[in-house]
């Protein structure tokens, strides 16, 4: 004889196993500063014939969000600090990119030369 908890657990597992996952990519227009992403996504979904429903999960890339919020930076305009040069040398990175990381981070925990590690593995 099974308990109510065991029956509910079994039913939950059955329901989860029945779920269907579908992935759809939307063709978005070029996103610009101030664009209403909700409006843009709904319009793109409608044009692509994808009906959004309650409990659907939408994933929006950080690039799209950054463009809409005006968080893009022209790397050519970044002036690296001495600290950025020092870390960039260790990590094998562009000092301008490191300067942006320093500006946006509370602290840097490690500087790992990923490019060198990847090349070594190839």
Q: What is the pTM of this model?
A: 0.55
Any idea which fold 75-121 has?
CofE-like fold (3.90.1660)
Q: Give the domain ranges of the chain.
A: 23-72, 75-121
| 19-70 residue pLDDT tens | 677 888 899 999 999 999 999 999 999 998 888 888 888 899 989 999 999 9
**pLDDT-derived band at 3, boundaries 50, 70, 90:** low
Rounded percentage of the chain residues whose pLDDT exceeds 70: 78
**pLDDT-derived band at 16, boundaries 50, 70, 90:** low
Cα atoms in the 13 Å half-sphere on the side-chain side of 35: 20
Q: How far apart are CA 111 and CA 104, in angstroms?
A: 15
Cβ-in-10-Å burial (0-12, 13-18, 19+) of 43 comes to middle
Mean pLDDT in the chain? 83
Pick the closest to residue 93 from 74, 70, 72, 112 (CA basis).
Answer: 112
pLDDT at 2 over 60: no
**pLDDT-derived band at 113, boundaries 50, 70, 90:** confident
List Cβ neighbours of 35 (8 Å cut-off, separation of 6 or more).
67, 68
pLDDT at 12 over 70: no
- CA 56, 20, 48: angle at the middle one, nearest 5? 50
């Amino acid at each position: 004889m099974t308990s109510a908890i065991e029956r509910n657990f079994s039913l939950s597992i059955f329901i989860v196993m029945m779920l269907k996952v579908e992935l759809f990519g939307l063709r978005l227009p070029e996103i610009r500063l101030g664009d209403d992403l909700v409006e843009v996504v709904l319009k793109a979904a409608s044009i692509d014939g994808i009906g959004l429903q309650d409990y659907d999960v939408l994933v929006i890339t950080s690039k799209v969000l950054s463009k809409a919020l005006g968080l893009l930076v022209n790397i050519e305009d970044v002036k690296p600090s001495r600290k950025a040069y020092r870390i960039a040398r260790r990590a094998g990175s562009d000092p301008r990119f490191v300067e942006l990381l320093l500006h946006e981070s509370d602290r840097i925990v490690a500087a790992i030369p990923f490019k060198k590690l990847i090349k070594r593995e190839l």
